[in-house]
A and B are shown apart, each in its own frame.
Chain A
Amino acid sequence: MRRPDLRPGGYLPFATSGLQSLLQYRSTFLITGITAAAGAAVTVFLWRAVYADGSGPGPGGFTPASITTYLVVAQVLAVVHTNRVDDEVAAEVYRGDIAVTLVRPLSYPLVRFAACLPVIGANAVLVGVPLLVLFAALVPLTAPRPVDVLLFLPSAALSVLIAFCVNLLTGMAGFVTTNTWGVRMAKQGVVAFFAGQMVPLALLPGPLHALAMVLPFRAMADGPLTLLLGRYEGTAGAAAVLGHQLAWGAGLVLLCAALWRAAVSRLEVLGG
């Protein structure tokens, strides 16, 4: 089979045009920000109450400041992972608008990836950073060590890739069901729980904890946070976290590619 070329030049415009479109809908960011801040406030103040009267480390080895940092940064990562890929793919498949992208000499998943980069960037800068600043002003946070920040950054980048794959797979539900809203809600719940956004994974009971450590969702919040807060055992511990992310990142990319190929050959676009 002749391989079509995958020059980035063809995909870049989707990133820039995505940014241009985004900037026309400024109020979206405000709404995302308010929702995220409210969500973070609930978990943060709930867990701070649990850790309030402890002197020294509480359950899971967290201090009030470190569990606050965990939950706030987990919320910031969740905001960054809200890349709209799931809604957009599901809607395009359902409405048949996917046809328009398929007549271009481009890979659809890569188009989606390029188009979500500005969404991720804008969410990070316009919602994530203000959220972090707001909570830093309200409650004491742990200052991470520089080496942990350096480990956190590639880990956060991998979490973005994994979030993209998870959302793409969720959006592809549009090929088999019209109730993609339900599928997206289910995904959101599973991710929030198994990524550690609601309950730090260290606090989960034995079997559930073991399951959470294997699933890919851990790589979306708990993994990067383990590195940021220095909650790992030496170099091997840090390598294990990054290795888990890398393995799932590669696995999910392959899964997306294979499922996409199978799904698109069964595509039915009726009407128009």
Chain B
Amino acid sequence: MIVAEGLTKDFRIAERRPGLLGSLSTLLTREYRTVHAVDGISFALRAGSKTAYIGANGAGKSTTIKMLTGIMTPTSGRCLVNGVEPYRHRRENARAIGVVFGQRSQLWWDLSVPDSFRILRRIYAIPDAVYERNLALYRELLDIDALGTTPVRQLSLGQRMRAEIAASLLHDPKVVFWDEPTIGLDMVLKEAVRELVNRANAELGTTVLLTSHDLSDIAAICDDALVVDGGRVVHEGTLTELLGRADRRSVVFDHRGGPGPLDAARGVEAGLPGATATVTPEGRIRVDYPAASLTSRQVLGFLLDRFELTDCYAPEPDLETVLRQIYRGGVPAARNGGGA
């Protein structure tokens, strides 16, 4: 559904020297610096997938979305959305996609939300049945009627984002690109947005590509993850696989008899080289160990051998930890799953 092949976008940025003298000198001689915003990335997302596009600030997420939505033309390489090169056939592509730019409003600034929706209905020639069904859904989930006849410019950020999200789905697009869609939304509305997109995905097979800095959004909405770092794809596959790439695992346990918690922790560290053991506020012992040098079998075997365990669980590595590790270069660039 969405394919990128060696997609590259360079920007030429005029260098400014600091200070007044520097500013004056740029009048005469101007130096340009080329910034590789997106550096030859390739990926393929299947129809009906819900993918989080993850990367640190400046990783080229927005630039990629602008190429996929047909706003910008790549410097080299190409991308296909629904079999169409978006920047070559912008209008054709635009019919099939829905977009939210968290930073820019796509509603009519001086009009009310219902007026904006009526305009969108005309632009996309949305059939009555689809329009009514979607409005009913937005009434139910997003409480869109509460926005009333207030001009968009007078809405709060959260109210506006609700309308933006609804507007991006109004014409039943095949693909939605959401760039930071949940900024300004409270917990209840975030839930509603997740519900909305999951329904569209389940009922219409809508493909979703989402960028967000809110990792709980990503976890709730997406199944797949595309992680870009330094302009390159460092992970393409499911979110679960991404979590599996954590270089450290943990086990938390409780035991009966034997040494006190502190001594037990020291004993674990001594017996399992490379592992760290800490006592949690509840008096349990948490063991963190490198997945590369110790297997789960070794760790659990050691614990079962030494202690009379009363409770034991292994918390899943969290997304934040994995991402921090990737951004710091802890995980080598590798590709899982269906690469292009």
Contact = CB atoms under 8 A, between A and B. Distances in A.
Contacts, number: 91
B11 interface: yes
B87 A265 contact: yes
A97 B104 contact: yes
Contacts of B246: none
Contact of A2 (B89, B101, B111): B89
A270 B62 CA distance: 9
B108 interface: yes
B91 A9 contact: no
B115 A17 contact: yes
B130 interface: no
A235 interface: no
B94 A104 contact: yes
B108 A100 contact: no
B110 interface: yes
A114 to B, nearest CB: 11
Range of interface residues on B (Cβ < 8 Å): 35 or more
Contact of B104 (A10, A24, A272): A272
Interface string A158-171: 00000000000000
Range of interface residues on A (Cβ < 8 Å): 20 to 34
Contact of B111 (A9, A21, A103, A268): A21
B106 interface: yes
B97 A17 contact: no
A99 B123 contact: no
B104 A103 contact: no
A179 interface: no
A31 interface: no
Interface string A235-255: 000000000000000000000
A148 to B, nearest CB: 40
B4 to A, nearest CB: 18
Interface of A: 1-2, 4, 7, 9-10, 12-14, 17, 20-21, 24, 96-100, 102-107, 265-272
Pairs of residues from A and B, 7 with the lowest C-beta to C-beta distance, nearest first: A272-B103, A21-B110, A4-B91, A13-B119, A105-B94, A100-B106, A105-B95
Interface of B: 11, 62, 66, 69-73, 87-92, 94-95, 97, 99, 101-106, 108-111, 115, 118-119, 122-125, 151, 179
8 contacts: A9-B122, A20-B110, A20-B111, A96-B104, A103-B70, A103-B94, A271-B62, A272-B102
